[in-house]
Amino acid sequence: MRTTFCLLMANACVFMTTCSEPPNALDLVLQTGELRVVTRNGPTTYYLGTEGPRGVEYELALGFAQTLGVELSIVTSDQLNDIATDLNSWQADVAAAGLTVTSERARQMHFASPYTEVRQLVVYRLGHRRPKAPEDLVGQRIAVLADSSFSDQLAVLSEQLPELKYETTASTDVDELLRRVVDGGIDVTVVDSNEFKVASQFYPELRVGFELADGDALAWAFRRDDDDSLRTAAEAYFAELESSGELGAIDERYYDNEHRLDYVGTRRFLRHIEGRLPPFRPYFEDIAEQIDEDWRLLAAMGYQESHWRPNAVSPTGVRGLMMLTRATARQLGIEDRTDPVQSINGGGRYLARIKKRLPERIGEPDRTWMALAAYNVGFLHLEDARILAQRQGNNPDDWNDVRAALPLLAQKKWYSTVKRGYARGWEPVRYVDNIRSYYDILIWATSEQYRARLDTRRAEPDSPPVDGEPGL
């Protein structure tokens, strides 16, 4: 596809030098060398991850810009209505914001062909009465995004059910509405199925009541004028993504739950201590001695990252036993991330670097827990969480206070006030919690008392688990 587009671009450049007509939208992008994309800040669209910008819409937009041979410039919008304004006022060339095609939006923008379909899901909290049909929404406290397909659908329903009441919020922050459902501030909200698939990872209390509507199309939007040159190029780009399978691969990276970390139970972990850990233990011990760290902490990290599998690869491309990014490996001089010796060495040294960057006044164990969080979410996002903790009157040097602040980085009212913006702040909380659990078990499993009891149990295979031992 890139070869085809290069020829098209070359022809366009020749055209611009031999014709007196004003350049079209595609020509202007090529002339300026920049594709300006307006989007929303959020987990399914665009956000800053540990490896830089991420999100489905961001990846799609970046690929389109690279196909055109231009730089990508991202603009974020705080309200859905502002997206059309940004387009039609020439502040942006494309809207890649997870927009569903609605009749009202179609009057303001030109949509390209849809690239996927989603369903509108009515979401409630486990333990509350499940709404199974539109009639069950009457009397419920409902809030949805303003100027959205959800508010349009509820407006239609309210004509049929005059007693149906709901509120709208101008924010584009779906996470904020989901959190209100979890916290009991509202009873029900409506989200797209792709957004719920991501949210269900960190809001296990949420459940789907029923589908409010299905078959909603997601598509990119362009200025509402007679110039369809850029839109045509985008449709050709999506057609190539579909035929190559790359579009499906992008969806899988963000929405396929089977590829997310598997938080195993204690029994399975103990089995892996016996079966998987022994070959790697000397390497953990060696680097731990070099950086003055407990090898069991590093081993717990390794288990959280890869379950002690040297060839592990995440959907985002980080790999190895300690799941190092390509950039981190380069900084540390690691040539082969799948080599367990290099990976363990790199992970240990990287953790040590992070700990050194933290203010000296932060003592242990808070210093270690914060370093682990930064290893997962990025040092600068950790700093933002410490700032938020301080703003709330809490101690930015206390892990428990920072732990409470980290999830705020996924809420627009908070992340919009700090420098690095949105982050999946619940992930480092889970990450540190899991490592602490694994670490505690490793301390017990490597103690003389445990080993003596385990040896006794092996000598008596029919005996029940010893006190304090979950069993193998």
Report how far residue 29's alpha carbon sits from residue 6's, in angstroms, rounded to the nearest whole number: 14
Structure tokens at 169: 């919020």
Burial of 85 (0-12, 13-18, 19+ CB in 10 A): middle
Cis peptide leading into 365, omega within 30 of 0? yes
Do residues 355 and 361 touch, judged by C-beta distance below 8 A? no
| Rounded CA Rg of the chain | 26
Structure tokens at 267: 């029994």
Residue located via tokens 């690929």: 63
- The HSE-up count of residue 345 (CA atoms within 13 Å, CB side) is 14
Q: Where are the alpha helices (DSSP H) in 33-148?
A: 56-68, 80-88, 103-106
Cβ neighbors of 373 (< 8 A, separation 6 or more) are: 382, 385, 402, 403, 406, 428, 429, 431, 432
Do residues 420 and 374 touch, judged by C-beta distance below 8 A? no
Using CA atoms, how far residue 212 sits from 124, 133, 189, 194, in Å, is 13, 8, 11, 14
The kind and range of the H/E element at 300 are: helix 295-306
Give the strands of the sheet with 110-111, arranged side by side.
Answer: 71-76, 34-39, 94-95, 221-222, 110-111
Three-class SS state of 221: strand
Using CA atoms, how far residue 59 sits from 64, 359, 400, in Å, is 9, 35, 34
Do residues 72 and 57 touch, judged by C-beta distance below 8 A? no
Using CA atoms, how far residue 335 sits from 326, 331, 370, in Å, is 10, 10, 28
Cβ neighbors of 264 (< 8 A, separation 6 or more) are: 272, 307
Catalytic (active-site) positions: 305
